[in-house]
Amino acid sequence: MRGKIEQDDQYELFSTASAPIIPVITDANTPETSLADTSTLAVKTWLAMAAIILVAIALRPGIVSMGPLLPFIIDEFQLSHTVASLLTTIPDLLMGLLALPTPWLARRYGRNPVLLTALLLLCVAMVARAFSSTTDMLMLSTVGVGAGIAVAGALMAGYIKGNFPTKAAMVMGIYATALSFGSTISAAASGPVAMQYASGWRMGAGVWGVLALIAVLAWALIAVRERQQGAVKNPVAEPARLPLRNPTAWMVALFFAADNFLFYAVLSWTAPMYIEYGLTPTIAGFVLASFTAVFMISNPVLGALSKSVDRRGWLAACSLLAICGLVFLAMAPMFAPFLSISLCAFGLGGAFTLGMTLPLDNTNNVDETNAWNAFVLTVGYLIAAVGPLSVGYIRDLTQDFHAAIWLLVCVAGVMLVLTPFLQPHHHKHSQQ
């Protein structure tokens, strides 16, 4: 009986370890064995968490750093704003295109080899982009950056769900916060680094390859430990079908698309816009950093505040905050830029966190959840990729950002209009 109690205690405490934990029944007369097992599981858990955080931090600087550096790149390569927007549009597009085939790659070649390859590609591509001498090389290396981010990001979500079954929401929150932390440091530092060194934007873009290299080393350690432990691969079940005929799934995907449309548009063009308005690249970078920092703070805050499965009230509140911030940016961009951008960021960050939970709210098992996630990510990121591109195109047409910001206000309005339709579909049926 005592052995059973110890089994339950160990399973509850360490069910979030880096690999699925099979509880070990310990005998009351062997406390040394129990202590050793406990210590080993704790080490596995902390190593897995550290690797997840390090990978997450490395996944956004390749995109975010482009915002403060766009004016330098536009000037050197004589790009239009429309073409320059491809430096953030391409990675966003690839996150949508590669959401579906990435799980197949992991099943075919193994999760760790594919993830390590993606992180290595990200590292090499970020460094190669810093040495680009032509526009073609600049765009090709950006494709490498986007592919690395897309594949690694898709695999990380699956790793967390499969290996932290009882704490998946908490670990996903930590992962999202680490993503935002990487965004914040790259937004704040890329401009000053570019101004500090003679190589200019090249150093500001290439230095973030170091983070990707650290992520490669961290995940290599996880892969080596799993190989040494001889982790057994479970048979892969037939994947659930995509919810193509589910109206709620389409509403969720469109809401996620609108939120990310705004996120990547603001991320790409905030710093260039404020440089045009007369701020220095350093101060403009700080405005962008305030956006990513507040976005990061809002992730856990809204996750903690939203207790009910029906999250429409909080989603509407987040949409309204985003609208207010963008209206202030459109009407008086220089009045209080840090306040306006922070309002927008808190709304978008909260909507992003809650939007990522909507597939969980609408599904009943892991396979169904994965199918919804793949569908939402694919539709969402493919539409969101238009955000930076459309702002750049309108800027070229009108010679300023004013009309483009009003376009973003309209997209935030679409978010608000969609919120009444985001009630979980099984919750609807239970009320009928």
What's the 3-state SS for 370-391?
HHHHHHHHHHHHHHHCHHHHHH
Give the per-residue pLDDT at 29. Answer: 46
Burial of 38: CB neighbours in 10 Å, binned 0-12, 13-18, 19+: middle
Check: CB of residue 41 under 8 Å from CB of residue 163.
no
Beta-carbon contacts of 221 under 8 Å, excluding residues fewer than 6 positions away, are 47, 51
| Whole-number Å distance between alpha carbons of 112 and 125 | 20
Q: In this structure, is the dihedral angle defined by the CA atoms of residues 80, 81, 86 and 88, taken in order, positive or negative?
A: positive
Site of tokens 């500090």 = 196
Contact 48, 222 (CB under 8 A): yes
CATH number (3.40.350.10, 1.10.1760.20, 3.40.50.720, 1.20.1250.20) of 40-231 reads 1.20.1250.20
* Rounded-to-5 percentages of helix, strand, coil across the chain: 80, 0, 20
Q: Is 103 helix (H, G, I), strand (E, B) or coil?
A: helix
Quick check: helix, strand or coil at residue 8? helix
Taking the alpha carbons at both ends of the chain, their separation in whole angstroms is 46
270: exposed, middle or buried (Cβ count in 10 Å: 0-12, 13-18, 19+): buried
Q: How far apart are CA 180 and CA 349, in angstroms?
A: 9
Which residues have C-beta within 8 Å of that of residue 397, sequence separation ≥ 6? Answer: 403
- 47 neighbors 18 (Cβ within 8 angstroms): yes
Any long-range contacts for 242-251 (C-beta under 8 Å, 24+ apart)? 242/371, 242/374, 242/375, 243/371, 243/372, 243/375, 244/375, 246/425, 247/421, 247/425, 248/362, 248/421, 248/422, 248/423, 248/424, 248/425, 249/362, 249/372, 249/375, 249/376, 250/379, 251/418, 251/421, 251/422
In the chain, CATH 1.20.1250.20 sits at: 40-231, 246-426
Query: What's the pLDDT score for residue 39?
Result: 66
Domain 246-426 CATH superfamily:
MFS general substrate transporter like domains (1.20.1250.20)
CA atoms within 13 A on the CB side of 181: 14
Per-residue pLDDT of the chain (432 residues; tens, 9 = 90+): 444 333 333 333 333 333 333 333 344 444 544 555 666 667 777 889 999 999 999 999 999 999 889 999 999 999 999 999 999 999 999 999 998 888 888 888 988 999 999 999 999 999 999 999 999 999 999 999 999 999 998 888 778 767 777 776 678 778 888 988 999 899 889 989 999 999 999 999 999 999 999 999 999 999 998 888 765 454 455 666 888 999 999 999 999 999 999 999 999 999 999 999 999 888 998 999 999 899 989 888 887 787 777 889 999 999 999 999 999 999 999 988 999 999 999 999 989 888 887 887 887 776 677 788 889 989 999 999 999 999 999 999 999 999 999 999 999 999 999 999 998 865 554 444
Predicted pLDDT at 172: 75
Q: How far is CA 326 from the centre of its chain?
A: 22
Contact indicator for 97, 382 with CB cutoff of 8 Å: yes
Tell me what pLDDT residue 93 has: 92
Q: Tell me the C-alpha distance between 86 and 392, whole Å.
A: 9
In whole angstroms, what is the distance from residue 83 CA to residue 298 CA? 32
- Cβ contacts of 68 within 8 Å, gap of 6 or more: 187, 190, 191, 194, 204, 271, 281, 284, 285, 288
Half-sphere exposure of residue 298: CA atoms within 13 angstroms, side-chain side: 26
- Predicted model pTM: 0.80
Report the pLDDT value the prediction gives residue 421, as an integer from 0 to 100: 93
Closest among 383, 385, 405, 384 to 394, alpha carbons compared: 405
